[in-house]
Amino acid sequence: MVCPLAFGEVGVKERVKSVLNYKKPTLWIMIATVAVLVILAVCFLTNPTREYQIRITIPAGSTEAFCYSDEEISPKGNTLTFYAGEGLGDTEIALLPVEVREENAYDEPAYITPGMPVKMDVEKGAWFKIGVNVQNTTDESMDVYVSVKNVEVRIASVKEAGDSSLSTEQTPGEENAAQQETDADMQVSDILNGSSPVTISREDALIFRAFLESGEWDDGISRCANNYELIFDGNTVRYHSDCGTFNDSAYNRHITLSEEDKVEVNTILEKYISLQAGEMPVKNDTIQNIMLYEQPEADKVCIKVQPSMIRENAYYYIPTDKDQEWLSAQVEALDLEGQPFDRRWEGHKERGWQIIYNDMEIRVFEGGYLYYTYDDEKGMMECFIEAPKLCDYIQIMLTEKIGYQNYDVSDIKDIVSAKLDVKSAFTSGQFYSQTITDAETLQKFEEWFSNAEYMYGGTECGTQYACLELTLANGDVMKLSMATDSCPNFHIDGVAYDYRPVSDWNNSEFYVTVQRSACDKQTDGVD
């Protein structure tokens, strides 16, 4: 900050005199200074802080207090900062010591909520697994992610790290027969159609491993939308058949195959799953033919959205032309100087979308508020500022481009019909649709949903596999992304709600009611 000299300030004349007598530094000092700056620039540019998305798989039917990651992390300092990643809502996080020198207590969990950092004191150089307090009452395993920086990452153990194709870029040496059998354990599934994993033959699995082990990994995730998932050695790699790209989100890197190699990989996949690379989950009337992406684009303002539809967990809308130019200027001009962390967002409701700009994720709240957190030498800092012009501009743009709306659940009244679309493991990956007009059922829906309570930070329960479309008597149509597990949660265009805030934490009555309505409808049609 530049401040003018104050009248009567002591020592003003002396400082002015020293400025007037200033002499340029000698040439050798300037050369040395430039050299130091060049060295610092090289260090910062070649050694950026890498953010890891640590995956934790919650097995089907798991009631364990904590589930832990396959990956192990080793802190580069004495403190670590964690953020809730994809699929993780309000819960507890804990560290499980694997290799430690100091007998510290690591069994005390910490509370974590989306968008809020959690700091833990750790032993530098030790190895830990990350655990989360998440249960899964469904018949299908689910993945959640925890974000962390300033760590080394390995797979399960030093030995496994050497064996895993994702923990080393060196070609492994000769393997014994037992190891070759392990290499054959690979599965592939079709993400778009929600198909169950199919086991790949040993011969084909070894071919895939060869591509992954000998290929050159590039930093970052490809912008190509994935349509296949490979699972092996506790790792998950996604693949897009049109681009010929393997994405490893746990290590934030990707491989792009040559045209010849892409043809070979696609030919192998055709033996297991019919390739449908042209089918994109964003082709939906609510998107109004506007392309959404699975990954943000560097150096551009991107808007993270979760439209109420059957979809991936989240998409990115990337404005173009004058919209992008105006938004970039506005975001770059934001004053994001923070203050010590104090949960300043409390009492405000989210808009259901976030601003993404390079490494920044800015949460947006009603009333034109922006919320951003970062670390510095003072600890965790947060910035909560007003930017109504920017917020309104984006909200209007999202409404016009992709039909993204803000709704008040109290407006859910006088429902005349409801249409439930589901495409999940419960329907064997097949699309299922049911229209409900039974007055008693619709009355239950109104009571549940109009009294739902807002949930900050979203929900860890997957809401992307089912969409409930409510048509009201006044002609309004509201779409709710419904959880398909036991959680009584739904999203309306990115804003999360709990529709059973007082009763038990279970939404089974919703699906029982839907099923009963379908049975009654069939009975009524019988002569």
Q: In the prediction, which pLDDT does 2 show?
A: 38
Q: Do residues 392 and 368 make contact, with C-beta atoms less than 8 angstroms apart?
A: yes
Question: pLDDT digits over 230-279, tens only?
Answer: 877 657 788 888 788 888 876 778 888 888 888 888 888 877 765 333 33
506-520 CB burial, b ≥16 within 10 A, e <16 = ebeebbebbeebbee
440 compared with 456, residue with greater pLDDT: 440
Residue 132 has pLDDT above 90, yes or no: yes
Q: In the prediction, which pLDDT does 233 show?
A: 64
DSSP string, 455-499: ETT--SS--TTEEEEEEETTS-EEEEEE-SSS--EEEETTEEEES
Rounded to 5 degrees, what are φ and ψ at 84?
A: -70, 130
Task: Identify which of 102-106, 258-262, 368-372, 487-491 has the greatest average pLDDT.
Answer: 368-372
- Rounded Cα gap, residues 278 and 63, in angstroms: 39
Q: What integer is the mean pLDDT of 75-88?
A: 87
493 exposure class (CB count in 10 Å sphere: 0-12, 13-18, 19+): buried
512 compared with 30, residue with greater pLDDT: 512
pLDDT band at 87 (very low <50, low <70, confident <90, very high): confident
- Pick the range with the lowest mean pLDDT from 83-92, 94-103, 167-176, 342-351: 167-176
- Rounded Cα gap, residues 503 and 39, in angstroms: 61
Secondary structure string (H, E, C) spanning 66-117: CEEEEEEEEECCCEEEEEECCCCCCEEEEEEEEECCCCCCCCCCEEECCCCC
pLDDT band at 159 (very low <50, low <70, confident <90, very high): very low
171 compared with 201, residue with greater pLDDT: 201
Q: In the prediction, which pLDDT does 157 show?
A: 41
Q: In the prediction, which pLDDT does 156 show?
A: 54
Q: In the prediction, which pLDDT does 328 show?
A: 95
Per DSSP, 243 falls in state T
- Supply 526's token pair: 């019988």
| Dihedral of the alpha carbons of 499, 505, 511, 516, in degrees to the nearest 10 | -100
Rounded to 5 degrees, what are φ and ψ at 398?
A: -65, -40
Residue identified by tokens 């969990």 is: 109
Q: In the prediction, which pLDDT does 205 show?
A: 81
Q: In the prediction, which pLDDT does 526 show?
A: 37
Q: What integer is the mean pLDDT of 518-525?
A: 51
Question: pLDDT digits over 180-209, tens only?
Answer: 444 446 777 766 555 556 777 777 888 888
- Rounded Cα gap, residues 489 and 468, in angstroms: 12
Q: Which of 229, 237, 407 is nearest to 307 (CA)?
A: 407
pLDDT band at 370 (very low <50, low <70, confident <90, very high): very high
329 compared with 109, residue with greater pLDDT: 329
pLDDT band at 136 (very low <50, low <70, confident <90, very high): confident
pLDDT band at 505 (very low <50, low <70, confident <90, very high): low
N-to-C CA span, the chain: 83
Q: Do residues 480 and 449 make contact, with C-beta atoms less than 8 angstroms apart?
A: yes
Average pLDDT value for the chain: 75
Name the pTM for this structure: 0.48
Q: What integer is the mean pLDDT of 361-381?
A: 87
Q: Do residues 71 and 154 make contact, with C-beta atoms less than 8 angstroms apart?
A: yes
Q: In the prediction, which pLDDT does 184 show?
A: 44
DSSP string, 158-216: HHHHHH-TTT--SPP----HHHHHHHT--EEEETTTTPPPEEPPHHHHHHHHHHHHHS-
pLDDT band at 428 (very low <50, low <70, confident <90, very high): low
- Pick the range with the lowest mean pLDDT from 35-44, 71-80, 236-245, 341-350: 35-44
Residue 148, SS3?
strand
Give Cβ neighbours of residue 427 (< 8 Å, ≥ 6 apart).
none
377 compared with 503, residue with greater pLDDT: 377
Question: pLDDT digits over 327-352, tens only?
Answer: 999 999 999 888 887 778 788 899 99
Residue 178 has pLDDT above 50, yes or no: no
Residue 224, SS3?
coil
Q: What integer is the mean pLDDT of 144-165?
A: 64
Q: In the prediction, which pLDDT does 322 show?
A: 93
Residue 374 has pLDDT above 80, yes or no: yes
The CATH number of 409-524 is 3.30.1490
- Pick the range with the lowest mean pLDDT from 102-111, 137-146, 157-166, 273-282: 157-166
Residue 211 has pLDDT above 50, yes or no: yes
Length of the chain as a residue count:
527
Q: Do residues 115 and 373 make contact, with C-beta atoms less than 8 angstroms apart?
A: yes
- Supply 1's token pair: 């900050």
Residue 57 has pLDDT above 60, yes or no: yes
Per DSSP, 333 falls in state T
pLDDT band at 390 (very low <50, low <70, confident <90, very high): very high
C-alpha neighbours within 13 Å on the C-beta side of residue 282: 21
CA angle 367, 368, 369 (to 5 degrees): 100
Residue 217, SS3?
coil
- Pick the range with the lowest mean pLDDT from 159-173, 175-189, 192-206, 401-415: 159-173
Provide CATH 3.30.1490 ranges for the chain.
409-524
- Pick the range with the lowest mean pLDDT from 74-78, 408-412, 427-431, 486-490: 427-431
40 exposure class (CB count in 10 Å sphere: 0-12, 13-18, 19+): exposed
CA angle 302, 305, 306 (to 5 degrees): 160
